[in-house]
């Protein structure tokens, strides 16, 4: 089956951070990009995860023992730098948006918050989430492919 775009011209529009976060909150799934915990390599890993937004922060679950959770053992832990990306694509119209939030993540340790976030995230794994992680975005960017005026 061939997908054809409608004849209307398209343009790419930069999103302001508030609109980007609004769009991010409209979808339940995104991808977290984080450094692999392999000493001889400095390569990123990408994993799909469910997310929710809370006060502009992105909340996800991470498996115990990943680079996102391991540094919490250290007293001077300041958070791992990560990127979080989500998008929505309409293959019939060619319209789409993509948002990337970059910042540092920290473990959520308050038991009440952890329970609330786990319930809201409805984990897809049979084992359930190991840790709840809060990403505080320092930079939020996004684009939207729209019909030209």
pLDDT at 13: 92
Cα 57 from Cα 44, distance rounded (Å): 21
Please give the pLDDT value at position 72: 46
Task: Say which residue, 73 or 62, is predicted with more confidence.
Answer: 62
Token pair belonging to 104:
């540092």
pLDDT value, residue 80: 83
Instruction: Name the nearest CA neighbour of 142 among 109, 102, 91, 99.
Output: 99
- Band (pLDDT 50/70/90 cuts) for residue 76 is very low
Q: Which CATH architecture has domain 10-147?
A: Roll (2.30)
| Residue partners of 55: CB distance under 8 A and separation at least 6 | none
Tell me which range, 14-28, 108-122, 135-149, is most confidently predicted by mean pLDDT: 14-28
- The string of pLDDT tens digits covering residues 109-140 is 899 999 999 889 876 555 555 688 999 999 99
- Assign 3 a pLDDT band (cuts: 50, 70, 90): low
Give the confidence band of 14 by pLDDT, cuts at 50, 70, 90. Answer: very high
């Amino acid at each position: 089956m061939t997908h054809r775009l409608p004849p209307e011209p398209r343009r790419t529009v930069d999103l302001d951070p508030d609109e980007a976060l609004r769009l991010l909150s409209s979808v339940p799934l995104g991808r977290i990009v984080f450094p692999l915990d392999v000493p001889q390599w400095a390569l990123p890993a990408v994993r799909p995860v469910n997310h929710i937004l809370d006060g502009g922060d992105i909340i996800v679950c991470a498996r115990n023992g990943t680079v996102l959770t391991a540094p919490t053992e250290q007293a001077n832990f300041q958070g791992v730098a990560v990127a979080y990306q989500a998008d929505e694509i309409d293959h019939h119209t060619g319209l789409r948006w993509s948002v990337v939030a970059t910042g540092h993540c920290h473990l959520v340790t308050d038991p009440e918050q952890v329970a609330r976030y786990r319930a809201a995230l409805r984990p897809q794994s049979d084992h359930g989430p190991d840790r709840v992680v809060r990403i505080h975005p320092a930079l939020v960017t996004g684009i939207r492919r729209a019909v030209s005026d």
